[in-house]
Amino acid sequence: MRFWDTSALVPLIVEEPSTSRMAEILSDDPDITVWICTNVEITSALVRRTPAGDHLALRNAETLIASLSSAWLEIDESPAAVDRAKYLATMHRLRAMDALQLAAALIACGYDPTRLEFVTLDNALASAARAEGFTVLP
């Protein structure tokens, strides 16, 4: 099982240069763990990439999101995640959502990052995850 940041999931839904690599990582281990607000982040990312009025592209993307999210495990430890995220934002100078993603990953692995790989395409988040002890992919 791996924790997937939004930045690594979006290429599974829309074609990007990293799509094939993310698909390989997913096929290697199809168990996905995410933060509870990942679905909102993916939707936001897709809306910003879709031309205004292109309802077909948005519906197709929403179908793919639904397919992915039907199988993933969501971490919903909101008070614990918020407390940990504040600490992580301070320690690693992370954006709020990235700090919450990293906090959710720590909760998912019982605060033992050797038990869970972290998948992200965000360099700042990858650096913070490594500093916290995660193995980061790709």
Check if the beta carbon of residue 39 is closer than 8 Å to that of residue 69.
yes
Nearest CA to 97 out of 106, 89, 105 is that of 89
Mean per-residue pLDDT, 74-98? 94
Task: Tell me the per-residue pLDDT of 17-69, one tens digit each, with 9 for 90 and over.
Answer: 999 999 999 999 999 999 999 999 998 888 888 888 888 888 888 898 898 89
Q: Given this model, what pLDDT does residue 96 score? A: 95
Q: Is the pLDDT of residue 100 over 90?
A: yes
* Half-sphere exposure in the Cβ direction for 112 (13 Å, CA): 3
Total count of domains within the chain: 1
**Read out DSSP for 37-63?**
THHHHHHHHHHHHSPTT-HHHHHHHHH
Q: What is the CATH number of the domain that holds 104?
A: 3.40.50.1010
To 10 degrees, the CA torsion angle through 77, 30, 133, 135? -160
Q: Given this model, what pLDDT does residue 46 score? A: 86
Instruction: Kindly report the average pLDDT of the chain as a whole number.
Output: 93
Q: Given this model, what pLDDT does residue 65 score? A: 87
Mean per-residue pLDDT, 109-123? 97
Q: Given this model, what pLDDT does residue 135 score? A: 98
Domain of 75, in residue numbers: 2-137
Cα 94 to Cα 6, 24, 32, 113, distances in angstroms: 15, 28, 23, 18
In terms of pTM, does the model score above 0.85?
yes
